[in-house]
Amino acid sequence: MSAAQWRRAMNTGAGRQAWPRTAAAPATIGVALTPSAVAIPAPPRSAARLGAALGRIRARHVLVMIGVLVYPWVVNSFFAFQIGGQALALGLIALSLTFLGGYGGMVSLAQMSVAGVASYMVAIFGVAGAAQGGASSLHWPWWLAVPVAIAVATLFAALVGWLSVRTEGIYTIMITLAIGVSFYYLAQQNYTIFGGHEGFNQVYPPTVLGVDFRQPIAFYYLALFWALAGYFFIKYLLRTPFGVALQGLRENPRRMNALGFDVTAHRVAAYALAGVLAAIGGVLMVWYNNRVSPGSASTEMMLNILIISVMGGMRHPIGAFLGAIVFVLVQNFAIDIIARERFNLVIGIAFLSIVLFSPDGLLGLWDYFRARVLNAGLRAKIAISGDR
């Protein structure tokens, strides 16, 4: 079966443009999905790939890049830190959910718990204020504490994955919700390690090479660096054989199993990779809040991440950051526009409307808008000139 035929056969979801439509892709897809080539094949020559990647950059991308780089200098510290920094950190966690849910078909509500585990590990292994009840931190330097924290959180994510993947897809939401809540209760009840209900205070980002990452602008760039790294990593991952196979697993696990892919291993690996992203997001969040407590990974926060992903749109990684920006803006300015007390009602109605009418979130709305309004003129021209 040729690569093109295979692509057509697998491309069952009509609106779902999961495959990147470029020249570089078909070779890798065709090679990857034959049983004899389960081992990851050698990618095309890097120079050609780099050239192809650079060729896809448009003016808009450059503008947005300049925009996010210049952003903290044109707004005040509140906007740089509380809006920008927080949106990037939350967006990174939501990106892990978008990757797992949108591309892997496994909507895991436990991503915030993974981030919470990373936050706690940073506080426990690194430097934090003494917690009431006796828990204290080990005072390791940050360059040791942070990688260990991310490693522990990734292990936790793999465990969550292993528990969740052995059942049908829709169970995943329930099970991950229950696992996330159990972590919440464990952290709340345990005083010797987790510091109980109050958690850890005074967890500060380090000063590296003279740059104090507690300052708003420095923190913003730190968050921006990791957000960009996560974003490009996911975009790269989706084009590798692993990423493509993951999307195949979303479409039809039985078929993939018949082809010789280890469904469980693939999925657990996806959970682990998403866990790395969420862990980095968790480290950023604990440095942002300067504290961690069970409430950082409560049911409400877990649902907030889901709301961010769905609102932004699960079809493309940028949706996570889009949703995060909108969420953070509404959260901070709802009190000025409408009554703050009804914030949850507003978010709930917005979420409900999006799921009911535009399941692809804001991205779906934007595509609809573009197709109907912006391209209407173009289509009219084509129709008139008879180019059909």
Residues between 172 and 211 with contacts to another protein, criterion CB under 8 A = 173-175, 177-179, 181-182, 185-186, 188-191, 196-198, 201-202
Task: Sort residue 117 into left (φ over 0), alpha (ψ -120 to 50) or beta.
Answer: alpha
Binding to another protein by CB under 8 A, coded x per residue (else -) over 341-360, reads xxxxx-xxx-xx--xx--x-
Of 35-43, 164-172, 237-245, 377-385, which segment contacts another protein by CB under 8 A? 164-172
Min CB(332)–another protein separation in Å? 6
The verdict on 338 binding another protein (CB under 8 A) reads no
Binding to another protein by CB under 8 A, coded x per residue (else -) over 113-152, reads ----------------xx-xxx------------------
Min CB(163)–another protein separation in Å? 5
The verdict on 387 binding another protein (CB under 8 A) reads no
Binding to another protein by CB under 8 A, coded x per residue (else -) over 279-298, reads ----------xxx-x-xx-x
Cβ burial of 215 (10 Å; 0-12, 13-18, 19+) is: middle
Residues 301-330 close enough to bind another protein by CB under 8 A: 303, 306, 310, 316, 318-319, 321-322, 325-326, 329
Phi, then psi, of 343 in degrees rounded to 5: -55, -45
Please give the DSSP secondary-structure letter assigned to residue 23.
Answer: T
Residue number with CB closer to another protein (95 or 318): 318
| Separation CA 65–CA 254 (nearest Å) | 41
Task: List the structure tokens of 276.
Answer: 């790395």
Element spanning 234, H or E: helix 216-239
Please give the DSSP secondary-structure letter assigned to residue 37.
Answer: G
The verdict on 379 binding another protein (CB under 8 A) reads no
Instruction: Please give the angle made by the CA atoms of 250, 366 and 313, to the nearest 5 degrees.
Output: 30
Of 7-15, 28-36, 166-174, 252-260, which segment contacts another protein by CB under 8 A? 166-174
Residues 215-234 close enough to bind another protein by CB under 8 A: none
Residues 21-50 close enough to bind another protein by CB under 8 A: 21
| Separation CA 42–CA 49 (nearest Å) | 12
Min CB(25)–another protein separation in Å? 14
3 state DSSP class of 140: coil
The verdict on 13 binding another protein (CB under 8 A) reads no
Q: Which of 23, 40, 41, 76 binds another protein (CB under 8 A)?
A: 76
Owner of token pair 């493509």: 244
The candidate with the shortest Cα–Cα distance to 264, out of 249, 247, 248, is 249
The verdict on 250 binding another protein (CB under 8 A) reads no
The verdict on 264 binding another protein (CB under 8 A) reads no
The verdict on 168 binding another protein (CB under 8 A) reads yes
Q: Which of 39, 47, 54, 170 binds another protein (CB under 8 A)?
A: 170
DSSP characters for 302-361?
HHHHHHHHHHH-TTSTHHHHHHHHHHHHHHHHHHHHS-GGGHHHHHHHHHHHHHHH-TTH
Phi, then psi, of 319 in degrees rounded to 5: -60, -35
